[in-house]
Amino acid sequence: MTVAQVIIDIPAQQTNRPFDYEIPQELEDIAIPGVRVLVPFGCAGHLRQGFIWHTVDHSEFSGKLKPIAQILDLDPVLNSEMLSLADWLATDTFSFLISCLQTMLPSALRANYQRRFYLNTPLATDDPLNTLLDSDDSGLIPDKIEPSLLAEIKRLERAQQLRIEYQISQRTKIKQEKNYTGILKSAEYEQLRGHARANAVQQIQLLTFLSVSPSFSGNLHSWVTKLPELSTATLNNAVKKGWLKSESVEIYRQPESGSVIAPKQVLTDEQQAAYDAIIGAIQQKQNQTFLLEGVTGSGKTEVYLDAMAYALHLGKTALMLVPEISLTPQMVERVQSRFPGKVAVLHSGLSVGERYDEWRRIERGEATVVVGARSAAFAPLTNIGIMIMDEEHEGSYKQDDMPRYHARDVIQKRAETYHCPVVLGSATPSLESRARAQKGRYQLLRLTKRPNDIQMPTVNIVDMRQAKKVSGKTDLSLKLIEEVKQRLDKHEQSVLLLNRRGYANFVMCRDCGNVIKCPNCDISLTLHRDIHALKCHYCGHQEPIPNECPACHSHNIRDYGAGTQKVEQEIQEIFPEARILRMDVDTTSHKGGHQQIISKFGRHEADILLGTQMIAKGLDFPDVTLVGVINADTSLSLPDFRASERTFQLLTQVSGRAGRAEKLGEVYIQTFNPDNYAIQLAARQDYETFYQQEMRLRHQGGYPPYFYTILISVNHRQEDQAVKKVYQIQRWLQPQLSPEAIVLGPTPRMITRVNNQYYYQLIIKYKNEPRLLAALQTLIMKMQGKSSQGFQLRIDREPLQFM
Ligand SMILES: Nc1ncnc2c1ncn2[C@@H]1O[C@H](COP(=O)(O)OP(=O)(O)OP(=O)(O)O)[C@@H](O)[C@H]1O
Ligand SMILES: [Zn+2]
Ligand SMILES: [Zn+2]
C-alpha cells in the first residue's frame, strides 16, 4: 500500500503536520507530492482540501487509513523545489505549512473552478472518455470521477493527446480565438482567383494574397494587418470552401501593454563593470548576492535588463522584483520591449484570471522573464539564471500577515537551489544589506554618476522656523511657491511631496521644532488621544501631553501633520490656473488609479503632482525640474529606530525624480530640523556618509544590523488577560536566553485595541541565541494548542514595524 502524507487546509497548530491517507491503486501515478486532494477529515468525515506532502510505503498510524477521496490536480501545482521552499519558509517565519503552500499559489487555485480536458487528437471510438465529452473536443472532468477514468485522462495527457485546464469561473474562462491557415498550393489559389466573381472584392484580395503566401497562418488580427479590408465573414467563408483551415487556440488575458520601445543603451564604464561582475556569476553558476548601490537615475535598471538578457541567452530564466508602486506601465513596457513575448507580469492590479494566466505561462515555460511585486518571489520559474530585487530597501517586500516573509530571503533561498546570483539594487540600500556588503557577504557594486553627464539635482533646505510663509498657509514657504511659479511660467512640471508617514502621531513645537522624546530612549513619544498621554513604545514610559514646549516654553505646540486635500486646495488658491494632480490613498484606491495619474502626468496634462510617498518612486519624466518636500519632518520623528533611515531614503528617492533629462533639476526640502543629519545628507545625496553615521547610532543604541530582533505579540479580548499573558511569556522566555540578549517591554502596541482585541508585545534583541528559535517553537505549541483560551500569538522575525 502506498500512503500519502497530506497537509490539510486548516491553518491551525493542531493541524500543522501531515496526516496519512491511503492512495487507491489506480491513482498511484497521479497522487504524487504537490498535488491537491480532497480527504475525509475529522470525526464527521467532511471532505477537506489538502496537499500531498510526501508519499511513503507504510504508515506509522496504527488504525485503518482512510483513502484519498478525490484528486484535484493531474499534475502537481507545486514542484519539489517549491515544496522544500515551503518547508523552510514555515520554520523560518514561524508559520503554518498550509499558509506557506497557499501563499505560493495564485488565488485562482483557491477559488472555485472546474477542470476541463481539451483534446489535441480525437478519441478512439471505444475510449471511455467519450462519455465525458460535451463538445467536439472538450469535456468537463467531474469532481467525483471514477479513478479509472482519471487514470485514462492522465495517460492521454502524458501522451500529449489532451491537455487539462482549470476554469476559475464564468468570467475567467479560458479565452479562445480562431487561427486561420492556408492549406492549398500557390497555383491552386491562383486558379481559384481566376474563377472568382468580379464583385467579390474581398475574396479576390484574399486569393491574390494566398497565391503569394499560400501557407500564411494567424489570427484575425494578423490577417487584417496583411489585408486591411478583410472581414471575419470572408475568412469563415474561405474555411467552408476548403481554402483555409481554422482551429481554436487559447489566448491569454495579457495585461495591456504599450508600444514605446526603449533602445538598448551603451553601458557606461561603471555600468559595464557591474554588468561584468554579475554575468560572471551567472556563467560560473555562483550563488553570490550583489548589492548594486547606484544614485538615482544612474541606470541600475539598464544593468538589470542586460544581465537578464545574458541569462536568457544561456537558456535560463530571470526574475525581477520591484515594489508594487513602481510597477508602472512605464516600467513594464521597458522590460517587455527588451524581451517581447517572454515577459510575465505579476501584480495586484491583475484580475484573478489574468494573474492565473500569467502564472501558467510561467509554469509552462512560455514566459521566461517574470516581473512582479513581493509575491512574485514564488513565481513558478525553473532553471533560474538571475534574480533581481529593485529598491531593495522598500518595506513592502516584507509581508505583514502569516507567512511574514521577506521576499529578499525567499529569492536568496531559491538562488541557493539554482546556483545563481541575486542582485539587490537601490540608491539607498537598507542598512542591513549595506552592512553585509561591508562584511563581504554581499559584493558591492557602485554607480556614482548619471549617464550622459546628466547632473544630480541641486538640493536646497528651507528652514521652516524662519521661512516666510504664504499668508494663511502654514505649510507653504514663499520660497517653494516662488519656485513652483517659475516652473509654471516655463511650462515645466513640479512634484510636491507631502510626507504623511506617522501623520499626527507625535507632538512638535511649531516655534523651535522640538519634538517630545522619551527620557530613556532616543525615540519620540507617541500621542495617544484616547488616554490624553504620550507614550514610549520601546520602554513603556508615559507622560501627560504638555501645554507648553519644554525647550522654549512656547504654547505653539501641537501634533503634527497636514492632509493632502487641504494642501491641494491651498495651492489651487495660490495658482488658480495650475493643473494639479493629487495622488494619495483616496485618489488611487480604485484599480489602475495610481497608473492613470502617473500616465496623465507623464503626458504633461498637469503642471503639479502633489502626493504622499507613493510619488517618490519610479517617475522618470523629462519635464520635471522641481521637487518640493512640504514636510520632511513627519517621518523623522516616528517612534522607530528606522525613522532616520526612512526619512533619508524618502528624501533621496524623491529628490531623484528631478532633472533626469537635459533640464537641470532643483529640489526644495521644507523642514523644522534643518541641521538633522538625515536631512543634511539626503540634501547632499550622500548615502555613504549617512550609512557610516547611522551605523554608529545603531551601534550605540544596540539596534539592527548590530542586533537581530524578534517581535512577540499576544492579543486577547480582555486587556488584563493580554497583559498577564505577555508577562508570563516574558518570565518563561527570559531564563532560556543568554545574558547578552535584551528583552524590551512588555509594552502595549501603539494601536492597543483593534477589533476589540488588546495587543501587548515584547521585543527581543539578540546576537547569538542558539536556543531562542526552538524556545519560540515551543511557545507556539504551548500557546496554540487546545489551551489557547482565546489568546493569539504572533511572532515576527526582523519586523519592519515595531508599532
Ligand atoms: N548607459 C546609458 N546611456 C544613456 N542613457 C542611459 C544609460 N543607462 C541608463 N540610461 C537612461 O538614464 C535614465 C535612468 O536610468 P534608469 O532608470 O535605469 O536608472 P535607475 O538607476 O534605475 O533609476 P532610479 O533608481 O532613480 O529609478 C533612463 O532614462 C535610462 O534610459
Ligand atoms: Zn519650542
Ligand atoms: Zn522609552
Measured distance CA(223)–CA(220) in Å, rounded: 5
Which band of pLDDT confidence, cut at 50, 70 and 90, is reported for residue 47? confident
Q: Could you report the per-residue pLDDT of 371-387, keeping only the tens digit for each?
A: 999 999 999 999 999 99
The answer, yes or no, to whether any atom of ligand 1 lies below 6 A from the CB of 266, is: yes
The answer, yes or no, to whether any atom of ligand 1 lies below 6 A from the CB of 427, is: yes
**Closest by CA position to 292, among listed 270, 314, 308:** 270
Q: Looking at the structure, tell me whether residues 274 and 402 fall in a common domain.
A: yes
Looking from the CA of residue 452, the nearest atom of ligand 1 is 4
* pLDDT value, residue 261: 46
| Strand-pair partners of 712 | 762, 795
Annotated ligand binding at 512? The verdict is: yes
- Residue from 301, 320, 448 to probe ligand 1 pocket by mutation (most atoms less than 8 Å from CB): 301
The answer, yes or no, to whether any atom of ligand 1 lies below 6 A from the CB of 271, is: yes
* pLDDT value, residue 84: 96
Annotated ligand binding at 420? The verdict is: no
Which band of pLDDT confidence, cut at 50, 70 and 90, is reported for residue 263? low
Cell of 434: 549595506
552 falls within a domain: no
* pLDDT value, residue 273: 97
Percent of the chain with pLDDT over 90: 43
* pLDDT value, residue 380: 95
Measured distance CA(720)–CA(727) in Å, rounded: 11
Measured distance CA(295)–CA(290) in Å, rounded: 16
Annotated ligand binding at 518? The verdict is: yes
Q: Looking at the structure, tell me whether residues 335 and 204 fall in a common domain.
A: no
The answer, yes or no, to whether any atom of ligand 1 lies below 6 A from the CB of 429, is: no
- Main-chain dihedrals φ then ψ at residue 535, nearest 5 degrees: -135, 150
The answer, yes or no, to whether any atom of ligand 1 lies below 6 A from the CB of 622, is: no
259 falls within a domain: no
* pLDDT value, residue 708: 92
The predicted model gives 117-133 an average pLDDT of 86
Average pLDDT across the chain, whole number:
86
635 alpha carbon – ligand 1 mean position (Å): 28
Distances (CA, A) of 9 to 36, 97, 100: 10, 9, 11
Looking from the CA of residue 294, the nearest atom of ligand 1 is 21
Q: Looking at the structure, tell me whether residues 693 and 738 fall in a common domain.
A: no
Nearest residue by C-alpha to atom 12 in ligand 1: 299
550 falls within a domain: no
**Closest by CA position to 388, among listed 484, 314, 309, 467:** 309
Q: Is pLDDT above 50 for 502?
A: no
Q: Looking at the structure, tell me whether residues 615 and 634 fall in a common domain.
A: yes
Residue type at position 792 = Q
451 alpha carbon – ligand 1 mean position (Å): 7
503 alpha carbon – ligand 2 mean position (Å): 20
Exposure letters 585-595 (e unless 16+ CB within 10 A, then b): eebbeeeeebb
Nearest residue by C-alpha to atom 29 in ligand 1: 620
Give me the domain span that covers residue 128: 112-169
312 alpha carbon – ligand 1 mean position (Å): 21
Q: Could you report the per-residue pLDDT of 507-565, keeping only the tens digit for each?
A: 888 888 888 887 776 667 877 665 678 877 666 788 888 888 988 998 888 765 456 77
556 falls within a domain: no
Measured distance CA(360)–CA(350) in Å, rounded: 14
370 alpha carbon – ligand 1 mean position (Å): 20
Domain count, the chain: 6
Q: Is the dihedral of CA 414, 418, 419, 425 positive or negative?
A: negative
Q: Could you report the per-residue pLDDT of 131-141, keeping only the tens digit for each?
A: 888 877 888 88
Q: Report yes or no: 370 and 266 within 8 Å, Cβ to Cβ.
A: no
Measured distance CA(617)–CA(425) in Å, rounded: 14
512 alpha carbon – ligand 2 mean position (Å): 4
Q: Looking at the structure, tell me whether residues 222 and 138 fall in a common domain.
A: no
Annotated ligand binding at 43? The verdict is: no
Q: Looking at the structure, tell me whether residues 432 and 477 fall in a common domain.
A: no
Task: CATH number of the domain at 99, please.
Answer: 3.40.1440.60
Q: Could you report the per-residue pLDDT of 582-605, keeping only the tens digit for each?
A: 887 667 767 677 778 888 898 899
527 alpha carbon – ligand 2 mean position (Å): 17
Of 645, 669, 697, which marks where a domain is finished? 697
Q: Could you report the per-residue pLDDT of 96-119, keeping only the tens digit for each?
A: 999 999 999 887 776 656 778 888
* pLDDT value, residue 255: 46
Nearest residue by C-alpha to atom 10 in ligand 1: 299
Residue type at position 159 = A
* pLDDT value, residue 561: 47
* For the CA of 297, the nearest ligand: 1
Maximum Cα–Cα distance across the chain: 101
SS3 letters across 321-338? ECCHHHCCHHHHHHHHHH
Measured distance CA(230)–CA(245) in Å, rounded: 16
Q: Looking at the structure, tell me whether residues 462 and 578 fall in a common domain.
A: yes
- Residue from 306, 620, 649 to probe ligand 1 pocket by mutation (most atoms less than 8 Å from CB): 620
Measured distance CA(296)–CA(448) in Å, rounded: 9
Q: Looking at the structure, tell me whether residues 296 and 424 fall in a common domain.
A: yes
Q: Enter the ipTM.
A: 0.93
